[in-house]
Amino acid sequence: MQIEFSASAPSQVSLTATIVNKGDMPAGLDTALVKGAEASRFKGSPGQLFEGFTTSGDTVARVALVGAGDKGADNRRLNLEKAGGAVIAKYLRSGEEALVLDLSAAGLSASDAGAVLLGAKLRSWAHDKYRTKLSSDKQISLKTVHVVGAPDGADTDWERQAAIARGVEFTKMLVTEPANIVYPESFVELCKEAFAGTGAEITVLGEKEMGELGMGALLGVGQGSRRESRLLAIKWNGGNDGDKPSVFVGKGVTFDTGGISIKPAPGMEDMKWDMGGAGAVAGGMLALVSRKAKANVVGVMGLVENMPDGNAQRPGDVVTSMSGQTIEVLNTDAEGRLVLCDALHWAQEEYDPAHIVDFATLTGAMMVALGNEYGGLFANDDTLADGLVSAGKTTDDKLWRMPLGPEYDKLINSPIADMKNIGGRWAGSITAAQFLQRFIKKGVAWAHCDIAGMVWSDKPGATHEKGATGYGARLIDQFVADNAE
């Protein structure tokens, strides 16, 4: 879907959507339209939409009023994104090929206008490539949004928002594609294509290189798969020379059967999105690179497939991580932390980060605790944690801080190795975080985001269809904007 700025509404477009503040009906509207909106209890609440028709001679125009909420609301930007998303949700598959989006009535700033358009763009993404028999009335029809009444500077702000949208859409694509399409090698190739010509530096380690570095934990997870594991790093030097980079690390288990500790069959198909952390990092990096962020940033992704082959890792095996610490693998379905521990150690060795943040669909226990409303946040540094929480509030990629402590740490002590990879029935998300913390060097500010409940949704949201949400990409971009640029 294309977004184009116009001085006036194209005469051939018969559909107009007008953004309206709550309780502030624009002057000059057709009386029938106003009365119809009142009868339908349209108040202008965020994302609320009323549709009617107006006539002028023999011409009939389709008109929508879309609520943006209170002009002075603290969450004004998110409300405007909801408004933009609501327009597209209504008309994306409506048969209309174009619409006029009128921003003149809501008193918007350039940034406000960008929020509306970002919401519209994000909500327009859909994945129909495998739906070969989709009936015509369910196919995407909307191709162009003509923006009129935009404030000065809106087109410039939109360039930034379009870059962010590009990153979020990349995350959605990676998370949505099935595991026979996105696997470690193809994930790397898709990133190479997406970042080609951007100036980002890409580093790829294969199994031979990782073996030489001693990454026994990561390699152990993938040893049962015919798909070779990879470690992918994307580096962007947009800041000052010598400034330490912000480093983001993503869990990229492109399919997770559980390994020998195999998962139940019902719902296993969902495990194509167990690479949602790596998808968030890749998309966040693409957003930053696309808008030429003035910061030094690195994204590192550990990419594996966890399969129950005759060569697969067994419960009870002991592996040696790149850090030299040994791990007793009691459950091969607690594999994400094994991937992350080597990726985290390598990232610290390689890049000497200002701070390091990992994203992972790590534990079902996180979903038990927080459902699908918040990602869990664990951190050894209050400033870093506060920055991530704040960025999440701005983008609606919400995070809720969880505890760490020595009382939980002792639950992962092993009688035969330095640690075990599970801690028992209780506090599963916390013991997973405690496991990762053992691989963070002294003095390094670190945060772990367990986003198991956030990367996929069984129902549509304000800026996404049912399915991949794109969670994490905007959070990374906003955190860098707030704290590193």
pLDDT at 152: 96
What sections of 177-299 are H helices per DSSP?
184-195, 207-213, 216-222, 276-290
What distance in Å separates the CA atoms of residue 79 and residue 87, rounded to the nearest whole number? 13
pLDDT at 231: 98
Q: How far apart are CA 187 and CA 181, in angstroms?
A: 9
In total, the chain counts a number of residues equal to 485
pTM: 0.97
Write down the residue that tokens 């599963």 correspond to. Answer: 428
The residues annotated as belonging to the active site are: 263, 337
Host H or E run for residue 390? helix 382-395
pLDDT of 437: 98
* Distance in angstroms (rounded) separating the CA atoms of residues 333 and 32: 61
Q: Helix %, strand %, coil % for the chain, to 5? A: 35, 20, 40
CB atoms within 10 A of CB 159: 11
Task: Identify the three-state secondary structure at position 97.
Answer: coil
- In sequence order, the 6+-apart residues with CB closer than 8 A to the CB of 470 are 122, 125, 168, 169, 171, 172, 175, 283, 463, 464
Residue 70 CB burial class (10 angstroms; 0-12, 13-18, ≥19): middle
Question: Tokens in use for 140?
Answer: 């995407």
Which residues are within 8 A (CB) of 173 and not within 5 positions of it... i.e. 6 or more apart? 127, 190, 468
The low-confidence residues of the chain, meaning pLDDT below 70, are none
Domains defined along the chain, listed by start? 2-151 (3.40.220.10), 163-483 (3.40.630.10)
- Looking up tokens 């696997």 gives 183
H helix or E strand, kind and range, residue 346:
helix 336-351
Backbone angles phi, psi at 3, to 5 degrees: -115, 120
Confidence (pLDDT) at 343: 98
The pLDDT, as a whole number, for residue 58 is: 79
The phi and psi torsions of 331 (rounded to 5 degrees) equal -140, 120
Start-to-end CA span in the chain (Å): 30
- As given in the structure block, the two tokens for residue 457 are 């949704």
CB atoms within 10 A of CB 95: 10
Give the pLDDT confidence score for residue 55 in this predicted structure.
Answer: 84
- What pLDDT does 237 receive? 98
